[in-house]
Amino acid sequence: MSSPLGLFFSFCALGIFTCVFFVFSMSETIEFELVRPVNPAGVSFIKYLWGAIGARNRSLLEDRERRGELTRLIQKLGFALEEKVGGNKLVTGRVVLTLENGRPVRLALRDVKVWAETGALEGEVAVELK
């Protein structure tokens, strides 16, 4: 909530008191790390972002209109990441959500790290309870 709300009083030529409000856009950013590698086109990516954003700003998830805008941003980011890094890749990085007057307007993933498959395990891994 860094931008101020300005209030300017002026008098018109007839001596009638007029109150003019100048509202500057109030900008806020929410930042968090994607620590666990997730598939940007998968459900885990969407759940991870929803949970992290909801923990930092609950009002985004409670307002129906803002929730829809946030959903569209998350889906667009997931598809953009999948185009950039390719399918079936896992990513981590720093998520930055920009809000203008409480509305989500921009979502970005910075310092992206792509996790690739490193190998395969032959055979079986099993555990038992006795």
Cβ atoms within 10 Å, residue 88: 11
Q: Please tell me the distance from the alpha carbon of residue 87 to that of residue 48, in angstroms, as a whole number.
A: 19
Q: CB count, 10 Å around CB of 94? A: 13
The amino acid present at 32, given as its one-letter code, is F
3 pLDDT higher than 70: no
Domain ranges of the chain: 26-115
Write out pLDDT tens, residues 62-109. 989 999 999 999 999 999 999 999 888 899 999 999 999 889 999 999
pTM as predicted = 0.70
Reported as a single tens digit per residue, the pLDDT across 55-75 is 998 988 898 999 999 999 999
Q: By the 8 A CB rule, do 80 and 25 touch?
A: no
Angstrom distance (rounded) from CA 72 to CA 52: 16
Polymer length in residues for the chain: 130
